[in-house]
């Protein structure tokens, strides 16, 4: 499989647009969709290398929002359409290079954040298993009290031992 530079955006919206690089853009779409507040779609992708992605980022540095996401503009949308139509990055050649986007260094996760993310993932997997078992295609929810504990934890309230026992109880006997 060849690597591709891809463009992802929320469905029904012009932006923001993610300009990324992957051998499997569809897998990236699935991963991003798990965390996105909006349903996402791939606008398109073009065979390319990481340097092509970096070059694209550099030419639209003024629209950079965060990580590999960019605010939309008519020029960005036109350029993406031209790149997709050409099947290569030649439409970028007439655009100036504005400079590199600095690499983002992430701070290490705290033990509490790692712990919370682990339990959130376990609850999500349990919800998916239940949904598949009953053949339900919609969004299956955990019990309200479990959802509220996880929400409060995400907002900074560390769960009590009784709340942790409730989450463990749900995970062992849904």
- Residue 29: CB atoms within 10 Å: 18
Handedness of CA 138, 17, 37, 49 (dihedral sign): positive
* pLDDT tens per residue across span 5-45: 999 999 998 889 999 999 999 999 998 888 888 899 999 99
Print burial letters for 129-157: b (CB count within 10 Å at least 16), e (below 16). eeeeeeeeeeeeebeeebeebbeebeeee
Q: What is the mean pLDDT of residues 85-99?
A: 83
The residues with which 97 forms a beta bridge, in sequence order, are: none
Q: What is the mean pLDDT of residues 147-157?
A: 87
Q: Are 58 and 39 in contact (CB under 8 A)?
A: no
* pLDDT tens per residue across span 57-87: 988 988 988 889 999 999 999 999 999 999 9
Give the per-residue pLDDT at 95: 80
> CA geometry: angle at 28 spanning 105 and 6, to 5°?
90
pLDDT at 146 over 70: yes
Give the per-residue pLDDT at 151: 86
- The dihedral formed by the CA atoms of 2, 37, 119 and 153, expressed in degrees to the nearest 10: 140
| List of residues 6+ apart from 63 with CB closer than 8 A | 70, 71, 72, 73, 76
- Specify the range with the lowest mean pLDDT, choosing from 75-89, 115-129, 134-148: 134-148
Give the per-residue pLDDT at 113: 86
Q: Checking DSSP bridges between strand 4-10 and strand 64-66, what pairing results, if any?
A: unpaired
Q: Is 166 exposed, middle or buried (0-12, 13-18, 19+ CB in 10 A)?
A: middle
pLDDT band at 104 (very low <50, low <70, confident <90, very high): low
Of the chain, the percentage scoring pLDDT greater than 70 comes to 93
pLDDT at 138 over 80: no
Q: Are 38 and 18 in contact (CB under 8 A)?
A: no
């Amino acid at each position: 499989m060849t690597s591709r530079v891809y463009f992802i955006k929320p469905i029904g919206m012009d932006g923001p647009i993610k300009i990324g690089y992957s051998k499997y853009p569809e897998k990236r779409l699935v991963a991003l969709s798990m965390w996105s507040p909006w349903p996402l779609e791939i606008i398109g992708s073009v065979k390319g290398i990481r340097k092509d992605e970096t070059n694209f980022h550099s030419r639209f540095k003024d629209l950079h929002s965060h990580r590999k996401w960019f605010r939309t503009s008519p020029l960005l949308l036109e350029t993406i359409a031209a790149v997709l139509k050409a099947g290569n990055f030649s439409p970028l050649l007439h655009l100036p290079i504005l400079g590199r986007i600095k690499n983002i260094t992430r701070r290490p996760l705290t033990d509490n954040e790692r712990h919370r993310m682990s339990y959130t993932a376990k609850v999500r997997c349990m919800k998916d298993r239940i949904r598949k078992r009953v053949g339900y295609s919609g969004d299956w929810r955990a019990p309200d009290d479990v959802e509220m504990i996880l929400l409060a934890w995400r907002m900074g309230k560390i769960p009590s031992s009784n709340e942790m026992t409730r989450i463990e109880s749900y995970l062992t006997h849904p």
